[in-house]
Chain A
Amino acid sequence: MRLPEGTRDVLPPEWAWRESLRAQLSGQFARHGYRGVDVPTLEFQDAAHPQDATAFKLIDRDGSVLALRSEFTTAIAQLARRRFPEGPFPLRLQYAGRLWLRGQASELGHLREFTQVGAELMGVRSPQADAELLEVAGSALRGVGVAAQLEVGHPGFVDGLLEDAGVTGAARDALHEAVDRKSGPDLAAGLRAHDLSADLGRTLHAVMDLYGGPEVLPAARALPLGERAAAALGDLAAIAQAFGPERLLFDLGMSRRYGYYSGYTFRAYVAGHAQPVLGGGRYGGRAGEWPGAGFAVGLERLTEVAARHLPPEREVVLALDEAGVRHAQALGLVAERAWTADAAELRRYAEARGLRRMVRGESFMPVEEEA
């Protein structure tokens, strides 16, 4: 009767709520032209896959190693190349389904089996395309009644600063790590340990505090930036301009946790919830890769966060004959069929299940009375 750690059952009221949210999100994405696709749950194991280290692995008949799907973007990008090699671009696709991660600690917001609903905009790269995804993400959350705050960042900004300063290898990893945790003390220690310049140190310390509203952008521009960092900042400013900078939060200190992103990243915060309900960004575009951008909503998290405006539950009645079933359904009620003529047993069931009425033909009767 036990379940593997990090997995769970979903019971009737929550199931209906989740399905309704999933349908509403898909409907929102569809309004913007995102067409639904599905990809297999089983994939070939691939050491280059971003989640390879934490994906569940299985052995196939011939001994080859398969992986349970651990992330959607890679699979959707492969589907696009397989099935839509000629576009037309931009290619707008949406998906919904389960993912599995072996390594996740199972606690608040970190199940090992979880569901994502997402959208991908592939084959083009422009600030307008990046802004479109912010628009689609924001309006989808508003559509399900969630007041969220979108935040954008650009991992290429910190990476560009380090690249422009000629920092490589272990030193670069250590500084990325310290900046991402906004750890002033660890940054100072990393700079000392690797004998790096005081100028770079001052800039990186300042970058950790570059979070907040649009005032962050001019503050970043005032720093001594090399070519790459300035390009990343310019990219982010153009996206913000296309979307409306006053509708965004910014964090220029976001760095290494988002290794496979090649452009901006974004997430949506909801007050009172520690985990973002949505995250995404721009990927690909390097040699031999298609450019693309997308985001995914964590359905389990959204289920917790979204205000519960479920459609009112329909009354369920116990139908004693087929005419009763038809009559109840015609009135918009849910009809469960009687399976026995034993009136006492039907009454016991109806009480246990919380049903108040029975129906025979076109007449309803309260459960307490003799059927």
Chain B
Amino acid sequence: MSAGGLTLALPKGRIFEEAVELLSRAGLPLYLPEKSRALRFDMNGVQVLELRNQDVPVYVDLGVADAGVVGKDVLAESGRGVYEPVDLKFSGCRLSLIREVGAAGPLNRVASKYPRLTREYLARRGLSAEVIKLSGNIELACLTGLADAVVDLVQTGSTLVANNLEEREIVMHSTARFVVNRTALKLKRETLRPLIARLRALTE
């Protein structure tokens, strides 16, 4: 497969390693780079950009990258209109409504790193709570009384137990998705179509 001229946006961290491993098996000449401060790699003709996961949909939508890998949670929160042809099935987690164990009062304020998804969830439930956007350690908002509940990622649930919190309802399930820029899919289809087919075969 000729993959020259392709630019990929990958999120840093564990998902980067899993994405490189899967994309290599799908035929791209990628490899795990040595630990360095580089943010951009030329991997045998494929340009790889290492980004924060929230930035992957931006780079792909605006066409700076042709394709990328990003969690469905982050993609849905971004509201970007990119193609998302393959569920890569790793980095599984769920976005849930979380409250202190036994909390029963009304939901007036909900804190989250995902304000858009939180608003959509509250609207679906017919609730009119105020949404507070935070950047990290969302659970603290509940414990300190900043918010009545939080919407946040749950992977194993151990953080919740350690902090006297409980999961009340699942807002959405998320896994990593392969995303593609709308123009790139058409103009670089010679490369992208077979890549998508192999990724599907590998994840089915």
**B63 CB → nearest A CB, Å:** 2
Interface bits A60-79 vs B (CB < 8 Å: 1, else 0)? 00000000000000000000
Q: Cβ of A186 and Cβ of B63 under 8 Å apart?
A: no
Q: Are B83 and A212 in contact (CB under 8 A)?
A: no
A211 within 8 A of B: yes
* A-side contacts of B185, CB under 8 Å: 182, 211
- In the complex, which range does the number of interface residues on chain A fall in? 20 to 34
A107 to B57, CA, bound (A): 14
Residues of A close to B64: CB separation below 8 A:
274
Which of the candidate stretches B108-116, B131-139, B141-149, B176-184 sits at the interface with the other chain? B176-184
Q: Which residues from chain B contact A274 at a C-beta distance below 8 Å?
A: 61-64, 181-184
Residue of B nearest to A249 (CB): B186
CB-based contact B187/A269 at 8 Å: yes
- Say whether A211 contacts B186, CB under 8 Å: yes
CA–CA, A212 and B85, complex, Å: 16
* Inter-subunit contact B86/A184 (CB<8 Å): yes
Closest B residue to A108 by beta carbon equals: B62
Q: Is the CB of B183 within 8 A of A208?
A: no
The yes or no answer to B87 lying at the interface (CB within 8 A) is: yes
A residues 238-297 touching B (CB-CB < 8 Å): 249, 251, 257, 269, 271-276
Q: Assess whether B84 is in contact with A186, with CB atoms less than 8 Å apart.
A: yes
CB-CB < 8 A to B181: which residues of A? 274
Measured CA separation A272–B184 after assembly (Å): 8
CA distance A216 to B187 in the complex (A): 15
B193 at the interface (CB under 8 A from A): yes
Whether A212 and B193, one on each chain, are in contact in the complex, defined by CB atoms closer than 8 angstroms, is yes
**Chain B contacts of A109 at CB under 8 A?**
62
B52 interface residue (CB < 8 Å to A) = no
B183 touches A269 (CB 8 A): yes
Q: Is A40 an interface residue (CB 8 A)?
A: no
- With a cutoff of 8 Å between Cβ atoms, the chain B residues found around residue A41 in the complex are none
Q: Are A149 and B85 in contact (CB under 8 A)?
A: no
State which size class the interface on B falls in.
20 to 34
Residues of A with C-beta under 8 A to B61: 274
Does A172 make an interface contact (CB < 8 A)? no
Q: Cα distance A202–B120 when bound, in Å?
A: 30
B29 beta carbon closer than 8 Å to chain A: no
Tell me if B189 is interfacial: C-beta within 8 Å of chain A: yes
On whether A185 and B189 interact (CB within 8 A), knowing A107-B62, A273-B63, A273-B183, the answer reads: no
Q: How far is the CB of A107 from chain B (nearest CB, A)?
A: 7
Is the C-beta of A159 less than 8 angstroms from some C-beta in chain B?
Answer: no
A-B pairs with beta carbons under 8 A, tally: 59
Contact A183 B84 (CB under 8 A): yes
Residues of B within 8 A of A125 (CB): none
Contact between chains at B187 and A182 (CB < 8 Å):
no
Say whether B82 faces chain A, with CB atoms less than 8 Å apart: yes
Q: Is B200 located at the chain interface by the 8 A CB criterion?
A: yes
Judge whether B45 is part of the interface by a CB distance below 8 angstroms. Answer: no
Within A132-187, the residues touching B (CB, 8 Å) are 149, 151, 181-186
Contact digits for B163-204, partner A, Cβ 8 Å, 1 yes 0 no: 000000000000101001111111101000100000010000
Give chain B residues whose Cβ lies under 8 Å from the Cβ of A211.
Answer: 185-186, 189
A184 x B83 contact (CB < 8 A): no
The minimal Cβ–Cβ distance linking A174 to chain B, given in whole angstroms, is 13
Given A107-B62, A274-B62, A274-B181: A184 in contact with B187 (beta carbons within 8 A) = no
Minimum C-beta distance from A104 to chain B (A): 13
Q: How far is the CB of A53 from chain B (nearest CB, A)?
A: 15
Q: From B196, which residue of chain A is reached at the shortest CB distance?
A: A209
Closest to B175 in A: A185
Given A274-B62, A274-B181, answer yes or no on A184-B87 (Cβ-Cβ < 8 Å). yes
Whole-angstrom CA separation of A107 from B183 in the bound complex: 17
**In the complex, chain B residues whose CB is within 8 Å of the CB of A208:** 85
Q: Convert B8-26 into 0s and 1s, putting 1 for each residue whose CB lies closer than 8 angstroms to a CB of A.
A: 0000000000000000000
**Which residue in chain B gives the minimum CB-CB distance to A185?**
B87
| Least Cβ–Cβ distance between A204 and chain B, in angstroms | 13
Whether B84 contacts A185 by the Cβ 8 Å rule is yes
* B window 56-72: CB within 8 A of A: 61-64, 72
The complex places the Cα of A185 from the Cα of B92 at a distance, in Å, of: 14
* Interface residues in A202-222 (C-beta closer than 8 Å to B): 208-209, 211-212
Given A212-B193, A274-B62, the answer on whether A181 and B183 have CB atoms closer than 8 Å is no
**CA–CA, A211 and B86, complex, Å:** 16
Identify 10 new A-B residue pairs, CB closer than 8 A, beyond the known A182-B180, A183-B85, A274-B61: A151-B186, A181-B84, A183-B83, A185-B84, A185-B87, A185-B175, A185-B177, A211-B186, A272-B63, A273-B63
- Listed by A's residue number, 12 A-B pairs whose Cβ atoms lie within 8 Å are A182-B185, A184-B86, A184-B200, A186-B84, A209-B193, A211-B186, A211-B189, A212-B193, A251-B186, A271-B187, A274-B61, A274-B181
- Across the A-B interface, give the 3 residue pairs with the lowest CB-CB distance, nearest first: A274-B63, A185-B87, A182-B83
